[in-house]
Amino acid sequence: MKRERLDKVLANMAIGTRKEVKALVKQRLIVVDGVVATDPGMHVIAEEQEILVDGEPLNFKRWVYVLLNKPPGVVSATEDNVHETVVDLLPYEWAIKVHPVGRLDIDTEGLLLLTNDGHLSHSLLSPKKKVDKEYFARIEGRVTERHVQEFAKGVELEDFTTLPAKLEIISSGETSEIRVTIMEGKFHQVKRMFAAFDLHVVYLQRIRMGPLHLDPSLAPGEYRELTEEELHMLQNVNK
């Protein structure tokens, strides 16, 4: 377990900035293992030691894993000069440390994982792991068996040819509803795959990433922490 500066631990738990934490120490409001802290730079093992902030125990958690049902209109980034970002939807103590695992377009909805666990996020995004992603989409135009077969062969785009993708038709007509599973996560990939057949995606929602499903009880904009089981499945994905 890691020994870290007390002020760093407290800032990371959103107790305040390092400067504010220093002031709390000066006011003798921080107690470590029953002893009033006098040095904001003292080293602690946050997982093991009891830290009280103004009498309240610090519920230290190093890793945060959040499942968000991304609404349309927000960008999958931690900062943006124009638009609201996905982290703006989260409580401050999570927002200051997590990043989105991959990106959904601004108009795409659905499952987005956010974490401060770089190792997990790297492994889920690694092309070698081939973590599949499933989307529900509404398409302007008629999606047919021919498209199912073309997707199964892989679709040639300007910059690459996709791996075989599984396309399932839910309904086909002037507007069609489909589910599609892809193995990569390239920029605008689903939209570009349909555009290759002159079909236009009018609604796109991610419903699954590897073993992790969108929770139907989460309305757009809502989030929750992963369960132990979900986390375990993600950590063991395609091992």
Q: Indicate the length of the chain as a whole number.
A: 239
Nearer to ligand URA, 61 or 103 (CB): 103
* Shortest Å distance, C-beta 233 to ligand URA: 21
Smallest separation (angstroms) from ligand URA to the CB of 132:
12
Please report how close the Cβ of residue 64 comes to ligand URA at its closest, in angstroms: 23
Q: Which is nearer to ligand URA, 116 or 189 (CB)?
A: 189
Identify which of residues 176 and 189 has a Cβ nearer to ligand URA in the complex: 189
- CA dist 41 → 6, 8, 30, 51, 62 (Å): 6, 8, 12, 14, 19
* Ramachandran class of 21: left when φ > 0, alpha when ψ lies in -120 to 50, beta otherwise: alpha
Tokens of 18: 């390092």
CB of 76 to ligand URA, least distance (A): 8
Instruction: CB nearer to ligand URA: give 104 or 124.
Output: 104
Give the β-pairing of 175-182 and 166-171.
antiparallel
Q: Which residues bind to ligand URA, rule: CB under 6 A?
A: 104-105, 108, 188-191, 204
Please identify every residue annotated as catalytic. Answer: 105
